[in-house]
Amino acid sequence: MKSLQSVRGMHDILPSDVAAWQWLEERVATLMDRYGFAEIRIPLVEKTELFTRAIGQGTDVVEKEMYAFDDRNGDSLCLRPEGTAGVVRAVLQHGLLNPPGLKVWYSGPMFRHERPQKGRQRQFHQTGAEVFGLDAPAVDAELIALGTRLWRELGIERHVELELNSLGDRDDRARYREALVAFLEPVRDQLDEDSRRRLETNPLRIFDSKVPTTQALLESAPRLIDHIGDGAREHFRSLTDMLDAEGIAYRINPGLVRGLDYYCRTVFEWTTTALGAQGTICAGGRYDDLVEIQGGKPTPGIGFAMGMERLLELVKAEGKQFANDPHAFLLGTEPVAARLGLAEALRDSWPGLRLVTDLQGGSFKAQFKRADRSGARLALVLGEQELEAGTVSVKDLKGDAPQETVARQALGDWLCRYFDGGVHSPSK
Protein backbone atom coordinates (compact mmCIF):
# COMPACT_ATOMS: atom_id res chain seq x y z
CA MET A 1 0.00 0.00 0.00
CA LYS A 2 1.20 3.49 -0.77
CA SER A 3 2.21 5.41 2.36
CA LEU A 4 0.31 8.60 3.09
CA GLN A 5 1.79 12.07 2.91
CA SER A 6 1.14 15.10 5.08
CA VAL A 7 -1.54 17.58 4.01
CA ARG A 8 -0.32 20.03 1.39
CA GLY A 9 1.08 23.17 3.02
CA MET A 10 1.31 21.53 6.45
CA HIS A 11 4.83 20.57 7.36
CA ASP A 12 6.59 18.35 9.84
CA ILE A 13 9.30 19.95 11.92
CA LEU A 14 11.92 17.23 12.06
CA PRO A 15 14.30 16.55 14.95
CA SER A 16 17.19 18.11 13.02
CA ASP A 17 15.27 21.39 12.91
CA VAL A 18 13.85 21.46 16.39
CA ALA A 19 16.97 22.90 18.05
CA ALA A 20 16.51 26.05 15.93
CA TRP A 21 12.83 26.29 16.85
CA GLN A 22 13.54 25.85 20.54
CA TRP A 23 16.26 28.48 20.41
CA LEU A 24 13.87 30.97 18.79
CA GLU A 25 10.95 30.15 21.07
CA GLU A 26 13.12 30.45 24.16
CA ARG A 27 14.38 33.88 23.11
CA VAL A 28 10.91 35.15 22.36
CA ALA A 29 9.49 33.81 25.64
CA THR A 30 12.29 35.40 27.68
CA LEU A 31 11.83 38.75 26.00
CA MET A 32 8.06 38.76 26.57
CA ASP A 33 8.74 38.05 30.22
CA ARG A 34 11.22 40.93 30.42
CA TYR A 35 8.53 43.33 29.15
CA GLY A 36 5.89 42.07 31.58
CA PHE A 37 3.80 40.04 29.13
CA ALA A 38 2.20 36.85 30.50
CA GLU A 39 1.62 33.86 28.27
CA ILE A 40 -1.93 32.79 27.41
CA ARG A 41 -2.82 29.50 25.72
CA ILE A 42 -6.07 29.30 23.84
CA PRO A 43 -7.75 26.55 21.81
CA LEU A 44 -6.82 25.86 18.20
CA VAL A 45 -10.51 25.69 17.32
CA GLU A 46 -13.12 28.41 17.88
CA LYS A 47 -16.63 29.09 16.65
CA THR A 48 -16.47 30.29 13.06
CA GLU A 49 -18.57 33.30 13.99
CA LEU A 50 -15.74 34.59 16.19
CA PHE A 51 -13.53 35.11 13.16
CA THR A 52 -16.17 36.36 10.74
CA ARG A 53 -17.19 38.97 13.31
CA ALA A 54 -13.69 40.03 14.36
CA ILE A 55 -11.74 39.83 11.14
CA GLY A 56 -14.54 41.07 8.96
CA GLN A 57 -16.11 40.30 5.60
CA GLY A 58 -14.16 41.38 2.56
CA THR A 59 -10.85 40.19 3.97
CA ASP A 60 -8.69 37.45 2.43
CA VAL A 61 -8.80 35.45 5.61
CA VAL A 62 -12.59 35.33 5.92
CA GLU A 63 -13.38 35.19 2.21
CA LYS A 64 -10.98 32.50 1.12
CA GLU A 65 -8.70 31.16 3.76
CA MET A 66 -10.63 29.78 6.72
CA TYR A 67 -10.62 26.11 7.59
CA ALA A 68 -14.25 26.09 8.69
CA PHE A 69 -16.24 22.90 9.13
CA ASP A 70 -19.40 21.61 10.78
CA ASP A 71 -18.72 19.32 13.71
CA ARG A 72 -20.90 16.35 14.61
CA ASN A 73 -23.44 18.59 16.32
CA GLY A 74 -23.73 20.78 13.25
CA ASP A 75 -21.92 23.71 14.92
CA SER A 76 -19.72 25.69 12.56
CA LEU A 77 -16.17 25.62 13.91
CA CYS A 78 -12.92 26.90 12.50
CA LEU A 79 -9.21 26.15 12.87
CA ARG A 80 -7.85 29.48 14.07
CA PRO A 81 -6.39 31.58 11.24
CA GLU A 82 -4.86 34.05 13.71
CA GLY A 83 -4.56 34.61 17.44
CA THR A 84 -6.01 37.98 18.34
CA ALA A 85 -9.71 37.12 18.00
CA GLY A 86 -9.35 34.12 20.30
CA VAL A 87 -7.32 36.08 22.83
CA VAL A 88 -10.01 38.78 22.96
CA ARG A 89 -12.67 36.12 23.39
CA ALA A 90 -10.69 34.53 26.23
CA VAL A 91 -9.92 37.72 28.15
CA LEU A 92 -13.58 38.78 27.89
CA GLN A 93 -14.88 35.37 28.89
CA HIS A 94 -12.64 35.28 31.98
CA GLY A 95 -13.06 38.92 32.96
CA LEU A 96 -9.36 39.80 32.65
CA LEU A 97 -9.85 43.30 31.27
CA ASN A 98 -10.10 44.94 34.68
CA PRO A 99 -7.98 46.70 35.73
CA PRO A 100 -6.78 48.07 32.39
CA GLY A 101 -3.27 47.24 31.25
CA LEU A 102 -3.41 43.48 30.65
CA LYS A 103 -0.40 42.33 28.60
CA VAL A 104 -0.49 38.82 27.16
CA TRP A 105 1.37 36.84 24.53
CA TYR A 106 0.66 33.59 22.71
CA SER A 107 2.42 31.26 20.33
CA GLY A 108 1.35 28.37 18.18
CA PRO A 109 0.05 27.05 14.88
CA MET A 110 -2.42 28.98 12.71
CA PHE A 111 -4.30 27.64 9.70
CA ARG A 112 -5.13 29.35 6.43
CA HIS A 113 -6.18 27.73 3.21
CA GLU A 114 -4.02 29.72 0.83
CA ARG A 115 -1.81 28.66 -2.04
CA PRO A 116 1.32 27.07 -0.57
CA GLN A 117 4.58 28.60 -1.76
CA LYS A 118 7.86 29.77 -0.29
CA GLY A 119 7.08 31.61 2.94
CA ARG A 120 3.42 30.66 2.78
CA GLN A 121 2.03 27.54 4.39
CA ARG A 122 -1.40 26.30 5.35
CA GLN A 123 -0.26 25.49 8.86
CA PHE A 124 2.27 28.03 10.09
CA HIS A 125 3.28 29.44 13.44
CA GLN A 126 2.73 32.85 14.90
CA THR A 127 3.81 34.43 18.15
CA GLY A 128 1.87 37.50 19.12
CA ALA A 129 1.53 40.05 21.90
CA GLU A 130 -1.53 42.07 22.92
CA VAL A 131 -2.06 44.98 25.32
CA PHE A 132 -5.58 45.85 26.52
CA GLY A 133 -7.09 48.94 28.08
CA LEU A 134 -4.35 51.47 27.35
CA ASP A 135 -4.70 54.03 24.59
CA ALA A 136 -1.53 56.11 25.06
CA PRO A 137 0.92 56.26 22.16
CA ALA A 138 3.63 55.13 24.62
CA VAL A 139 2.02 51.68 24.50
CA ASP A 140 2.51 51.56 20.72
CA ALA A 141 6.08 52.78 21.20
CA GLU A 142 6.92 50.12 23.78
CA LEU A 143 5.52 47.33 21.64
CA ILE A 144 7.61 48.53 18.72
CA ALA A 145 10.67 48.76 21.01
CA LEU A 146 10.07 45.13 22.02
CA GLY A 147 10.03 44.02 18.40
CA THR A 148 13.12 46.06 17.59
CA ARG A 149 14.99 44.53 20.50
CA LEU A 150 13.95 41.03 19.41
CA TRP A 151 15.38 41.48 15.91
CA ARG A 152 18.58 42.75 17.50
CA GLU A 153 18.83 39.78 19.86
CA LEU A 154 18.14 37.34 17.04
CA GLY A 155 20.90 38.99 15.01
CA ILE A 156 18.65 39.94 12.08
CA GLU A 157 18.20 43.68 12.64
CA ARG A 158 20.14 44.64 9.56
CA HIS A 159 17.61 42.76 7.38
CA VAL A 160 14.40 44.31 8.65
CA GLU A 161 12.71 47.62 8.11
CA LEU A 162 9.84 49.07 10.14
CA GLU A 163 6.93 50.47 8.14
CA LEU A 164 4.38 52.63 9.87
CA ASN A 165 1.04 54.20 9.06
CA SER A 166 -2.04 55.58 10.76
CA LEU A 167 -5.51 54.44 9.73
CA GLY A 168 -7.20 57.16 11.75
CA ASP A 169 -10.42 56.58 13.67
CA ARG A 170 -13.70 55.09 12.46
CA ASP A 171 -15.13 58.39 11.20
CA ASP A 172 -11.88 59.25 9.44
CA ARG A 173 -12.00 55.96 7.59
CA ALA A 174 -15.65 56.50 6.62
CA ARG A 175 -14.79 59.87 5.08
CA TYR A 176 -11.71 58.49 3.41
CA ARG A 177 -13.67 55.57 2.03
CA GLU A 178 -15.82 58.02 0.05
CA ALA A 179 -12.75 59.79 -1.32
CA LEU A 180 -11.17 56.49 -2.34
CA VAL A 181 -14.32 55.20 -4.05
CA ALA A 182 -14.69 58.50 -5.93
CA PHE A 183 -11.13 58.09 -7.15
CA LEU A 184 -11.39 54.41 -8.15
CA GLU A 185 -14.92 54.38 -9.59
CA PRO A 186 -13.89 56.00 -12.94
CA VAL A 187 -11.07 53.45 -13.38
CA ARG A 188 -12.88 50.39 -12.05
CA ASP A 189 -12.38 48.51 -15.34
CA GLN A 190 -8.65 48.56 -14.74
CA LEU A 191 -8.94 46.95 -11.32
CA ASP A 192 -8.51 43.22 -10.76
CA GLU A 193 -11.64 41.20 -10.08
CA ASP A 194 -11.22 40.97 -6.30
CA SER A 195 -10.62 44.68 -6.05
CA ARG A 196 -13.71 45.49 -8.16
CA ARG A 197 -15.78 43.48 -5.73
CA ARG A 198 -14.12 45.17 -2.76
CA LEU A 199 -15.03 48.52 -4.23
CA GLU A 200 -18.58 47.66 -3.10
CA THR A 201 -17.84 45.65 0.04
CA ASN A 202 -14.67 47.01 1.62
CA PRO A 203 -12.75 49.52 -0.52
CA LEU A 204 -9.82 49.92 1.90
CA ARG A 205 -8.97 46.26 1.42
CA ILE A 206 -8.04 47.07 -2.18
CA PHE A 207 -4.71 48.22 -0.74
CA ASP A 208 -4.04 44.59 0.20
CA SER A 209 -4.18 43.56 -3.46
CA LYS A 210 -0.96 42.06 -4.73
CA VAL A 211 -1.90 42.62 -8.41
CA PRO A 212 0.68 45.01 -9.94
CA THR A 213 -1.77 46.95 -12.14
CA THR A 214 -3.98 47.60 -9.13
CA GLN A 215 -0.96 48.60 -7.06
CA ALA A 216 0.07 51.03 -9.82
CA LEU A 217 -3.38 52.65 -9.85
CA LEU A 218 -3.25 53.09 -6.10
CA GLU A 219 -0.04 55.06 -6.25
CA SER A 220 -1.86 58.25 -7.10
CA ALA A 221 -4.91 57.51 -4.94
CA PRO A 222 -5.82 59.85 -2.07
CA ARG A 223 -3.93 58.87 1.07
CA LEU A 224 -5.66 57.83 4.25
CA ILE A 225 -2.99 59.48 6.35
CA ASP A 226 -4.06 62.84 4.86
CA HIS A 227 -7.65 62.24 5.97
CA ILE A 228 -7.15 61.42 9.62
CA GLY A 229 -8.60 63.64 12.34
CA ASP A 230 -6.80 65.62 15.03
CA GLY A 231 -6.93 62.90 17.68
CA ALA A 232 -5.37 60.23 15.49
CA ARG A 233 -2.90 62.72 14.04
CA GLU A 234 -1.68 63.79 17.47
CA HIS A 235 -1.39 60.13 18.52
CA PHE A 236 0.73 59.35 15.48
CA ARG A 237 2.96 62.39 15.92
CA SER A 238 3.54 61.52 19.54
CA LEU A 239 4.44 57.94 18.59
CA THR A 240 6.93 58.97 15.93
CA ASP A 241 8.49 61.48 18.37
CA MET A 242 9.05 58.67 20.86
CA LEU A 243 10.52 56.38 18.22
CA ASP A 244 12.83 59.20 17.13
CA ALA A 245 13.91 59.76 20.72
CA GLU A 246 14.73 56.08 21.10
CA GLY A 247 16.60 55.98 17.82
CA ILE A 248 14.21 53.48 16.24
CA ALA A 249 14.17 53.91 12.48
CA TYR A 250 10.91 53.65 10.52
CA ARG A 251 9.43 54.50 7.15
CA ILE A 252 5.94 55.94 6.87
CA ASN A 253 4.08 53.91 4.26
CA PRO A 254 0.70 55.51 3.44
CA GLY A 255 -0.32 52.38 1.50
CA LEU A 256 -0.01 50.18 4.57
CA VAL A 257 -3.57 49.07 5.31
CA ARG A 258 -3.54 45.91 7.35
CA GLY A 259 -5.64 43.07 5.97
CA LEU A 260 -7.85 42.69 9.02
CA ASP A 261 -10.87 44.86 9.65
CA TYR A 262 -10.34 45.64 13.28
CA TYR A 263 -7.36 47.95 13.02
CA CYS A 264 -7.41 51.70 13.67
CA ARG A 265 -4.80 54.39 14.29
CA THR A 266 -1.31 52.89 14.39
CA VAL A 267 -0.49 50.02 12.04
CA PHE A 268 3.00 48.68 11.40
CA GLU A 269 4.91 45.90 9.71
CA TRP A 270 8.48 44.75 9.79
CA THR A 271 9.52 43.68 6.34
CA THR A 272 12.63 42.23 4.78
CA THR A 273 13.92 41.93 1.24
CA ALA A 274 16.01 38.89 2.17
CA LEU A 275 13.24 36.30 1.82
CA GLY A 276 11.84 37.00 -1.63
CA ALA A 277 8.17 37.81 -2.21
CA GLN A 278 6.83 36.98 1.26
CA GLY A 279 8.73 39.65 3.10
CA THR A 280 6.59 40.56 6.11
CA ILE A 281 7.91 38.95 9.26
CA CYS A 282 5.78 40.75 11.82
CA ALA A 283 2.65 42.86 11.58
CA GLY A 284 0.34 44.58 13.96
CA GLY A 285 -1.58 47.59 15.01
CA ARG A 286 -4.13 49.18 17.24
CA TYR A 287 -7.65 47.74 17.44
CA ASP A 288 -9.59 50.05 19.72
CA ASP A 289 -12.98 48.78 18.46
CA LEU A 290 -12.36 45.06 18.57
CA VAL A 291 -13.30 44.34 22.18
CA GLU A 292 -16.61 46.10 21.64
CA ILE A 293 -17.23 44.20 18.38
CA GLN A 294 -16.73 41.01 20.41
CA GLY A 295 -19.37 42.08 22.92
CA GLY A 296 -17.25 43.77 25.61
CA LYS A 297 -17.16 47.32 26.91
CA PRO A 298 -15.20 49.71 24.68
CA THR A 299 -11.56 48.87 25.46
CA PRO A 300 -8.55 49.96 23.43
CA GLY A 301 -6.09 47.32 22.36
CA ILE A 302 -2.92 46.92 20.38
CA GLY A 303 -0.90 43.92 19.29
CA PHE A 304 1.27 42.26 16.73
CA ALA A 305 1.96 38.80 15.35
CA MET A 306 5.18 37.49 13.91
CA GLY A 307 5.54 34.65 11.45
CA MET A 308 7.92 32.19 13.06
CA GLU A 309 8.86 30.29 9.88
CA ARG A 310 9.91 33.49 8.14
CA LEU A 311 11.83 34.63 11.21
CA LEU A 312 13.72 31.36 11.41
CA GLU A 313 14.60 31.58 7.75
CA LEU A 314 16.13 34.98 8.33
CA VAL A 315 18.07 33.75 11.35
CA LYS A 316 19.41 30.85 9.31
CA ALA A 317 20.30 33.15 6.44
CA GLU A 318 22.63 34.87 8.92
CA GLY A 319 24.46 31.56 9.19
CA LYS A 320 23.60 30.74 12.75
CA GLN A 321 24.21 27.10 13.67
CA PHE A 322 21.96 25.18 16.02
CA ALA A 323 23.64 22.13 17.40
CA ASN A 324 22.41 20.05 20.24
CA ASP A 325 24.66 17.10 19.55
CA PRO A 326 25.36 14.92 22.57
CA HIS A 327 28.40 15.69 24.67
CA ALA A 328 29.23 12.04 25.05
CA PHE A 329 28.37 8.56 23.84
CA LEU A 330 28.81 5.73 26.32
CA LEU A 331 29.71 2.33 24.94
CA GLY A 332 31.33 -0.86 26.20
CA THR A 333 31.17 -4.57 26.83
CA GLU A 334 28.25 -6.58 28.11
CA PRO A 335 26.34 -6.38 30.30
CA VAL A 336 24.63 -3.17 29.21
CA ALA A 337 23.46 -2.75 32.83
CA ALA A 338 26.94 -1.50 33.76
CA ARG A 339 26.59 1.31 31.26
CA LEU A 340 23.10 2.16 32.42
CA GLY A 341 24.33 2.43 36.01
CA LEU A 342 27.18 4.76 35.10
CA ALA A 343 24.94 6.86 32.84
CA GLU A 344 22.32 7.35 35.54
CA ALA A 345 24.99 8.32 38.09
CA LEU A 346 26.38 10.91 35.66
CA ARG A 347 22.89 12.29 34.98
CA ASP A 348 22.25 12.57 38.74
CA SER A 349 25.25 14.83 39.18
CA TRP A 350 25.38 16.70 35.86
CA PRO A 351 21.91 17.75 34.70
CA GLY A 352 23.38 19.64 31.75
CA LEU A 353 25.15 16.62 30.30
CA ARG A 354 23.78 15.34 26.98
CA LEU A 355 24.65 11.68 27.13
CA VAL A 356 23.66 8.83 24.83
CA THR A 357 24.14 5.25 25.96
CA ASP A 358 24.66 2.48 23.45
CA LEU A 359 21.84 0.04 24.14
CA GLN A 360 22.37 -2.21 21.15
CA GLY A 361 25.75 -3.66 22.12
CA GLY A 362 27.72 -5.78 19.70
CA SER A 363 31.32 -5.22 18.60
CA PHE A 364 33.30 -2.15 19.61
CA LYS A 365 33.61 -1.32 15.95
CA ALA A 366 29.84 -1.22 15.51
CA GLN A 367 29.41 0.81 18.69
CA PHE A 368 32.08 3.33 17.69
CA LYS A 369 30.32 3.73 14.36
CA ARG A 370 27.12 4.61 16.17
CA ALA A 371 29.07 6.96 18.44
CA ASP A 372 30.38 8.82 15.39
CA ARG A 373 26.95 8.99 13.84
CA SER A 374 25.46 10.42 17.04
CA GLY A 375 27.53 13.57 16.59
CA ALA A 376 28.92 13.23 20.14
CA ARG A 377 32.18 14.93 21.00
CA LEU A 378 33.48 12.14 23.23
CA ALA A 379 33.18 8.41 23.45
CA LEU A 380 33.16 7.05 27.00
CA VAL A 381 34.34 3.45 26.92
CA LEU A 382 33.43 0.97 29.62
CA GLY A 383 35.25 -2.18 28.49
CA GLU A 384 36.25 -5.21 30.53
CA GLN A 385 39.52 -3.63 31.61
CA GLU A 386 37.84 -0.42 32.70
CA LEU A 387 35.14 -2.31 34.59
CA GLU A 388 37.77 -4.20 36.49
CA ALA A 389 39.91 -1.15 37.25
CA GLY A 390 36.99 1.16 38.09
CA THR A 391 37.91 3.51 35.26
CA VAL A 392 36.48 4.86 32.02
CA SER A 393 38.45 5.49 28.83
CA VAL A 394 37.68 8.73 27.08
CA LYS A 395 38.20 9.15 23.36
CA ASP A 396 37.88 12.38 21.44
CA LEU A 397 35.66 11.63 18.43
CA LYS A 398 36.21 14.91 16.62
CA GLY A 399 39.94 15.46 17.06
CA ASP A 400 43.00 13.31 17.54
CA ALA A 401 43.73 13.97 21.21
CA PRO A 402 45.19 10.85 22.81
CA GLN A 403 42.83 8.55 24.66
CA GLU A 404 42.70 9.14 28.42
CA THR A 405 41.83 6.91 31.29
CA VAL A 406 39.84 8.53 34.06
CA ALA A 407 38.81 7.06 37.41
CA ARG A 408 35.07 6.45 37.47
CA GLN A 409 34.61 8.63 40.55
CA ALA A 410 36.44 11.50 38.88
CA LEU A 411 34.70 11.26 35.49
CA GLY A 412 32.02 13.85 36.26
CA ASP A 413 34.55 16.48 37.29
CA TRP A 414 36.70 15.63 34.31
CA LEU A 415 33.74 16.14 31.91
CA CYS A 416 32.82 19.36 33.64
CA ARG A 417 36.34 20.73 33.08
CA TYR A 418 36.41 19.44 29.53
CA PHE A 419 33.13 21.13 28.60
CA ASP A 420 34.00 24.29 30.50
CA GLY A 421 31.18 23.94 33.01
CA GLY A 422 28.64 23.44 30.23
CA VAL A 423 27.25 20.28 31.82
CA HIS A 424 26.19 21.94 35.07
CA SER A 425 22.67 22.82 34.11
CA PRO A 426 20.44 22.07 31.14
CA SER A 427 21.55 24.08 28.14
CA LYS A 428 19.25 26.59 26.52
Residues found near ligand ATP in the complex (CB under 6 A): 82, 112, 114, 119-121, 124, 126, 259, 278, 280-283, 305, 307, 309-310
User: Least distance from C-beta 134 to ligand ATP, angstroms?
Assistant: 22
Which residue number, 262 or 329, has a Cβ lying nearer to ligand ATP? 262
Q: Which is closer to ligand ATP, CB of 80 or CB of 173?
A: 80
Residue 232 vs 260, nearer CB to ligand ATP = 260
Task: Spell out the SS3 assignment of the chain.
Answer: CCCCCCCCCCCCCCHHHHHHHHHHHHHHHHHHHHCCCEECCCCCEEEHHHHHHHHCCCCHHHHHHCEEEECCCCCEEEECCCCHHHHHHHHHHCCCCCCCCEEEEEEEEEECCCCCECCECCEEEEEEEEEECCCCHHHHHHHHHHHHHHHHHHCCHHHEEEEEEECCCHHHHHHHHHHHHHHHHHHHHHCCHHHHHHHHHCHHHHHHCCCHHHHHHHCCCCCHHHCCCHHHHHHHHHHHHHHHHHCCCCEECCCCCCCCCCCEEEEEEEEECCCCCCCEEEEEEECCCHHHHCCCCCCCEEEEEEEHHHHHHHHHHCCCCCCCCCCEEEEECCCHHHHHHHHHHHHHHCCCCCEEECCCCCCHHHHHHHHHHHCCCEEEEECHHHHHHCEEEEEECCCCCCCEEEEHHHHHHHHHHHCCCCCCCCCC
DSSP lists the bridge partners of residue 130 as 104, 303
Please say which residue, 120 or 175, places its beta carbon nearer to ligand ATP: 120
Q: How far is the CB of 244 from ligand ATP (least distance, A)?
A: 25
| Residue 51: CB minimum distance to ligand ATP, A | 12
Q: Which is nearer to ligand ATP, 280 or 349 (CB)?
A: 280
Beta bridge partners of 60: none
Closest approach, Cβ 276 to ligand ATP, in A, equals 12
CA distance 172 to 168: 6
Q: Which residue is nearest to ligand ATP (CB)?
A: 307
280/374 with CB nearer ligand ATP: 280
CB of 394 to ligand ATP, least distance (A): 46
Q: 272 or 367: whose CB is closer to ligand ATP? A: 272
- Rounded to a whole number of angstroms, the minimum distance from the CB of residue 28 to ligand ATP is 14
Of 173 and 339, the one with the shorter C-beta distance to ligand ATP is 173
| Cα 64 to Cα 79, 84, 101, 401, distances in angstroms | 13, 19, 34, 61
Residue 290 CB, nearest approach to ligand ATP (Å): 14
- Least Cβ distance, residue 123 to ligand ATP (angstroms): 8
| Smallest separation, CB 94 to ligand ATP (Å) | 25
165 or 391, CB closer to ligand ATP?
165
